[in-house]
Amino acid sequence: MDSLLMKPGVFVAMGIIMGLAAGWLFHRVWRALLPRYRSREFWISLPMSIRGMLSSEETPELFRHYRALISATGRHATRNTVAVLAGIAPASILFLIFHELDPSDRLTSMVEVRHAGDRRQLLDSRAVKNFPLEVAGATLQREDVTQKHALCVSTVNCLWFDIMLFKTHRLHVEHRAPTQAIVVRPAALNRNPFWPHFNDVEFCYFAALMAGGVVAALRDRRRMRP
């Protein structure tokens, strides 16, 4: 099994298949928790409540329509948020599995350091003798250098990398502008246009996830037609 997963093509194919399944599951779970008739009821009631507010002549009547509008909007937003979070759960679990199985560090000893402005630096982790390694003020130990890291100063920027399961390091302002980050990761599976933020498996997984959701939505819509 390990030798099979060492083949990049097999791993990318698994990412596509699992991404399609995750996208399909997302739509099915989301639509199960937020049925179409619930959405239809909300969007029908919304203009009615607004028209009622605009045509009200008495203050109590105005506030009655206003409360109905706020209540309907709150219920719909809450139900939709719960449905989205429940739909994301399978995709998140599959992404965690792929993260643990990622063979990048076993496919190459080369590590890419991508600086701001697309300036790149390649290091051979086997040839580096002096550890810990200093990168823009951050310290990387020998066991860390073959994992994916993001060196950032912005909280929002670091949060994005945290979501993508990078190990984040806070930089001082003097090293980089707050909206820019330095990415360090093994230089494998790196042929997609969004490298180094995504490797090929991650890119294919998320592209397939979106495609799976779209296909499920189109199929659902086709089944609803008379």
Going by pLDDT thresholds of 50, 70 and 90, the confidence category of residue 33 is very high
% residues pLDDT > 70 (the chain): 89
Contact 205, 165 (CB under 8 A): no
Contact 190, 184 (CB under 8 A): no
Which DSSP symbol is given to 109? S
| Dist CA 115 CA 162 (whole Å) | 18
Q: How far apart are the first and last CA of the chain?
A: 48
User: What are 160-181's pLDDT values in tens digits?
Assistant: 899 999 988 887 655 445 457 8
Rg (CA), the chain: 24
Determine the pLDDT at residue 135: 72
Determine the pLDDT at residue 81: 95
Residues ≥6 apart with Cβ < 8 Å to 214: 23
- Any alpha helices (H) in 34-125, and if so which ranges? 36-55, 59-101, 104-107
Contact 196, 122 (CB under 8 A): no
CA geometry: angle at 155 spanning 97 and 102, to 5°? 20
Question: Which one has a higher pLDDT value, 98 or 164?
Answer: 164
User: How does the average pLDDT of the chain come out, rounded?
Assistant: 83
User: What are 178-206's pLDDT values in tens digits?
Assistant: 457 888 888 888 889 999 889 999 999 99
| Dist CA 216 CA 25 (whole Å) | 8
